[in-house]
A and B are shown apart, each in its own frame.
Chain A
């Protein structure tokens, strides 16, 4: 699954550590999501969407 997490984070000038703190996860988890190594669970995806004030489907995109 592709996602726009890195793009949305850098738009806000947040570091990975800043985002991790806001989501209450480790920086490693943020990095793994951004690099596509790990797809977050639905509750975490909702948390990300709520934080960026967007819908889940506008952040997480199925691979073509």
Chain B
């Protein structure tokens, strides 16, 4: 049974986004991939983007900074501060995008649960405002708003918010 690879994204309340994804690897490896610059550079970023600069000071109060290059010469800088580090199960940090820094930081809490050699990653993102997320996503990728009103059942399914 292949139960890895499916990314679930749901909203929780009006400011939180909860992402869940299963990886076919023990959690200490997933934790390393989330926190070591040489590994982060190999996977982090939406399609067409490359993480070119990555600094991580992995201790409580330590800063992190990412800088990415995307299609058409676009760039994206992100930074934040680690609030909690419990290797290999939990990490919490603030996150802000350079371009929208005036809107404040999101608080990201990532937990890793291992079962039979597979790791379930849950990432809760408490956004300062949806506007920031919206702007970031719009600038980060060519994503036309889905203007398909005829898939109402699918839309309601996608929006099935956690109680």
Q: Do these two chains interact? A: no
Which B residues form the contact surface with A (CB < 8 A)? none
